[in-house]
Amino acid sequence: MSPEYALSWIVSVKTNIFSFGVLPLEIVSGKKNVNFVKSEHSINLIGHAWKLWNEEKALELADPSLSGIWNADELLRCIHIGLLCVQDQAKDRPDMLDVVSYLSNETILSAEPKQPAFFINARENNATSPVNNIRENCSTHNVTISGFNG
């Protein structure tokens, strides 16, 4: 969910770009952003990808089961495009036309991604957090039933 929608309920074309940007990161890593927890850093997949990108270790994001199958340039391109799409500020994200062009052409991506919108995941560090209490009250399939009151 894009930060502008999560914080202000603002919906725009760039909201969808943010959501799309999560997909290449999930595909490359083989992990879902929602379920990803990197215990020593307590960040989600987007934050982990950003950290690896800044450390010039982005290839470490690749799913180990893809070892030897992927092309390093294509993998870095997918990560780069994903990070461009999940930038914190909507104005910094590319248009979908640009994203399609990046994916379909081998043009040079000159834009460097800025810090993405990601949140620190405090679930594992605070056993009494409200998030953990909610999880404990869920069914075995982590499903709840919500009632609406007028």
Helix (H) or strand (E) holding 14: helix 13-29
CA–CA separation, 116 and 95 (whole Å) = 16
What is the band of 130 on the pLDDT scale with cuts at 50, 70, 90?
Answer: very low
Q: What's the helix, strand, coil split of the chain in %, to 5?
A: 50, 5, 50
* Whether the predicted pLDDT of 133 surpasses 60: no
Find the length of the chain: 150
17: its two tokens: 């770009």
Comparing 10-14, 48-52, 93-97, 135-139, the range with the smallest average pLDDT is 135-139
Which pLDDT tens digit goes with each residue over 47-76?
A: 899 999 999 999 999 998 877 788 888 899
Q: Where are the domains of the chain?
A: 3-123
Question: First and final CA of the chain: distance in angstroms?
Answer: 27
Cβ(35)–Cβ(45) under 8 Å? no
pLDDT of residue 5: 61
Which pLDDT tens digit goes with each residue over 69-123?
A: 888 888 999 999 999 999 988 899 999 988 888 888 877 777 899 988 765 444 4
Q: To which CATH superfamily is domain 3-123 assigned?
A: Transferase(Phosphotransferase) domain 1 (1.10.510.10)
* 3-state secondary structure (DSSP) of residue 121: coil
pLDDT of residue 121: 41
